[in-house]
Amino acid sequence: MPHTTAAVPLARALIRTALTDLDATAGGRPDRDTAELLTAELVANAVEHTAGLGPIELVVELFSALGGCQIEVHDSQPAAPGELVCPDPATEVDPWQEHGRGLLLIRALSSDCGHRPTAQGKAVWFTLPGIPAQRRHPER
């Protein structure tokens, strides 16, 4: 994907297509809305916090047996992202602050998340479990 803000809606569309086409008969399917939201956060972070020295890569691994997925965003910056852990509950959050909540969303809404170095920089990833069809909201 291009290293521009245009990558964010493109990534959302790619995730929507990948998860819509997923055969959910085995173990269910990950929640598309959550997958799109978290992917958009990772791609937006890659665009904003990396030097723009190359494309942003989106990797989607579908777990057919379990119905879940792992989504990775690769960028050219080797530096680790901000903390992928929940902050101290005693720390007050500024409701007017525009930045700093994306990684919190990823940590709170995914079943697992992290980052790892790659040959070209780093990958930041999250996993989502499959949700059985009877527990999902109707397709829109």
Q: What is the pLDDT of residues 104-118, one digit of tens each?
A: 888 889 999 999 999
**Total H helices, total E strands in the chain:** 3, 4
Domain hosting residue 20, numbered range:
7-134
Band (pLDDT 50/70/90 cuts) for residue 97 is low
Nearest Cα to Cα of residue 52 among 78, 76, 80: 76
pLDDT score for 63: 83
pLDDT score for 126: 95
Q: Give the total number of structural domains in the chain.
A: 1
pLDDT score for 119: 92
CATH number of the domain where residue 125 is located: 3.30.565.10
Q: 107 near 87, Cβ under 8 Å?
A: no
pLDDT score for 108: 86
Q: Is residue 140 part of a domain?
A: no
Band (pLDDT 50/70/90 cuts) for residue 84 is low
pLDDT score for 42: 94
pLDDT score for 89: 56
pLDDT score for 99: 62
Q: Is residue 121 part of a domain?
A: yes
Q: Is residue 112 part of a domain?
A: yes
Distance CA 21, CA 52 (A): 31
Mean pLDDT of 6-25: 84
Mean pLDDT of 122-132: 90
At 116, the amino acid letter reads R
Distance CA 15, CA 21 (A): 10
pLDDT score for 90: 62
Q: Is residue 75 part of a domain?
A: yes
pLDDT tens string 18-52 = 888 665 555 678 899 999 999 999 999 999 888 77
